[in-house]
Structures are given as structure tokens and as C-alpha cells.
Structure 1
Amino acid sequence: MSIVRNSIRKRTIIIGRHVTSVSLEDDFYNALKEIAAARHLPLFALINMIDADRRTSNLSSALRLFVLGEARNGRLPPART
């Protein structure tokens, strides 16, 4: 059995008029992009919506929790293969 490493990458994003960075695993970032596309939103718009509703001080955690919530509620788009 081989172990696939899902690297955490730091990504620069704009929230409102502020530049910040988030550290996310590739799978979470890709899921965010797929959710945004399924909702016909630019990725930055989805991230801004998540930021506005977040209940945690850490944006990276809020993004992960959003993806987890979408998965638990069966709202993730089908995975691309």
C-alpha cells in the first residue's frame, strides 16, 4: 500500500480589500474550487461568503469546516477522475 501525501500549501487570497494567506491541503482547496464552480461563483466570492459567516478566528479552519459541512450534507459536486 502506498501513502499519498496531500501537501499543505500556503495560498494568497483577497478578503474584501485585504490580502491574506491560508494554508490548505490540496484536496480542500480543490473541493472549494469545485463547490464554487457548481454554484457558478468565482472562488474568491465563495471564500468571502465563508469568511463573512465564519465562527472561528482562523480562516483556514473555517474553509476546511465549510468543505466538511458540504460533504456531510451531501452537497459536494461529484469528484472528477
Structure 2
Amino acid sequence: MSEPSPYHPPVKRSVQIAGHKTSISLEPLFWTMLRDAAEAEGVPINAIVARIDAERIKSPTPPGLASAIRVWLVSQ
């Protein structure tokens, strides 16, 4: 099966952070990158998202979670 177009609209998925479910909308390309990062570290996607969330809330002006995930992914 081929990958969706990189210009596909965002897809909303639920993740769990610190025992709480939240929805995140990311383009399929970013979901793929997030899955690949989790697989490379041998941890669930939720663990990566929780780490990104913890880092972003330390910022003086925290971005939204989806934005923080995108920035984290392209910074890797």
C-alpha cells in the first residue's frame, strides 16, 4: 500500500498522556514519522508524545501539542 500524499489533510488520533486521553491532529506524514521514531526507540507512541509534552510545557510560551510534535520530529 502506498503512503498517502504529503499534502493530505490532518488525521485526528487519540493518545494517552499521564493517564489522560487527548486527541491530536497531524498530517499522515507526521504520524508516520512519529511511529518510526517510537519504533526506533522501542517505545510506544504515547511515550514519545508524553516526553514532547513535558518538554513543551517548560517553554515560556508553550506551543500547542501538535505543533510541538512537528517541531520535535523535524529537529531529530
Which category of TM-score, normalised to the shorter sequence, fits these structures?
Answer: 0.7 to 0.9
- The runs of at least 4 aligned residues of structure 1 exceeding 3 Å deviation read none
TM-score, normalised to structure 1's length? 0.75
TM-score, normalised to structure 2's length? 0.79
Question: In the comparison of the two structures, how many residue pairs are matched?
Answer: 67
What residue is the counterpart of 2:44 in the other structure? 42
Question: Take 2:45 and 2:13, find their aligned partners in 1: how far apart are those partners?
Answer: 13
Q: CA RMSD in A?
A: 1.2
CA apart distance, 1:17:
1.6
5+ long unaligned stretches in structure 2: none
5+ long unaligned stretches in structure 1: 71-81
Identity %: 34
Larger radius of gyration: 1
Please give the per-residue CA displacement for 1:20-48, whole angstroms capped at 9, x wherever unaligned. Answer: 11110000011000011011111111111
